[in-house]
A and B are shown apart, each in its own frame.
Chain A
Amino acid sequence: MKKKKRLIWVADIVGVILTLLIFILPFYFMLVNSLKSKQEAGLLTINWPAELHFENYKEVFSYSNYQLVTAFKNSLILTFFTVLGLLITCAMAGYVIQRRNDRAMRIVQWVIMLGLMIPATILPTINLLQQLHIYKTMFGMVMVEIALQTPFTIMLFRGFMASIPRELEEAARIDGCSPFQVFFRIINPLLKPIRATVIILTAVTTFNDFTNPLYFLPGAENTTVQLTLYNYKGQFSSSYNLLFADIILITIPMLILFIFFNKKIVDGMVAGSVKG
Chain B
Amino acid sequence: MKSKNRDNKLYSFWFVVPSLVIFSVFFLYPIITSLYYSMTVWNFDSATFCGLDNYKMFFSENSLSSSIVHTLIYAFLTSGLKVIIAFFLAVFLCSKIRTKGFIRSAVFFPNLVSTMAVGLTFSYLMHPTKGVFNLALQALGFSPINFLGDMNLALYSVIATDVWKGLSISVVIYIAGVQSIDKTYYEAASIDGANAWQQLKSITLPLVAPSQNSIIILSLIGGLRTFDLIWAMTGGGPGFATDVMASVIYKQYAYGFYGLSTAGNVIMLVLISCIAFPLQHFLMKREEAIQ
Given contacts A44-B124, A273-B169, contact A16 B103 (CB under 8 A): yes
Q: Which residues of B contact A117 (CB under 8 A)?
A: 221, 272-273, 276-277
A61 in contact (CB, < 8 A): no
Complex interface: stretch among B28-36, B74-82, B187-195: B28-36
B11 adjacent to A250 (CB under 8 Å): no
A265 adjacent to B112 (CB under 8 Å): yes
A123 adjacent to B8 (CB under 8 Å): no
Q: Which residues of B contact A92 (CB under 8 A)?
A: 15-16, 18-19
Q: Mark A238-276, 1 if CB is under 8 A from B, else 0.
A: 001001100100110011011000100110011001101
Interface SS of chain A: helix
* Residue in B closest to A251 when the chains form the complex, CB atoms: B113
Q: Which residues of A contact B262 (CB under 8 A)?
A: 121, 123-124
A273 adjacent to B20 (CB under 8 Å): no
B65 in contact (CB, < 8 A): no
* Residue in B closest to A233 when the chains form the complex, CB atoms: B120
Interface bracket on B: 35 or more
B110 in contact (CB, < 8 A): yes
Given contacts A19-B103, A102-B4, contact A266 B33 (CB under 8 A): no
A179 adjacent to B9 (CB under 8 Å): yes
A99 in contact (CB, < 8 A): yes
A-B contacts, 16 of them at CB < 8 A, read: A92-B18, A111-B23, A112-B23, A124-B37, A127-B33, A150-B27, A208-B112, A211-B246, A233-B232, A251-B114, A254-B109, A254-B112, A255-B112, A258-B105, A262-B105, A276-B214
Given contacts A26-B122, A119-B224, 16 further A-B contacts (CB under 8 A): A95-B11, A99-B7, A111-B28, A117-B272, A121-B266, A124-B262, A128-B25, A143-B25, A147-B23, A150-B19, A207-B114, A215-B253, A226-B114, A243-B120, A247-B121, A257-B112
Chain A interface (Cβ < 8 Å from any Cβ of B): 8, 11-12, 15-16, 19-20, 22-27, 29-30, 43-46, 85, 88-90, 92-93, 95-97, 99-100, 102, 104-105, 108, 111-112, 115-128, 130, 143-144, 146-148, 150-151, 154, 169, 173, 179-180, 182-183, 204, 207-208, 210-211, 214-215, 226, 229-230, 233, 240, 243-244, 247, 250-251, 254-255, 257-258, 262, 265-266, 269-270, 273-274, 276
Chain B interface (Cβ < 8 Å from any Cβ of A): 4, 7-13, 15-16, 18-20, 22-23, 25-31, 33-34, 37, 42, 44, 92, 95-100, 102-103, 105-110, 112-118, 120-122, 124-125, 127, 130-132, 135, 164, 169, 172-173, 176, 210-211, 214-215, 217-218, 221, 224-225, 227-228, 231-232, 246, 249-250, 253, 258, 261-262, 265-266, 268-269, 272-273, 276-277
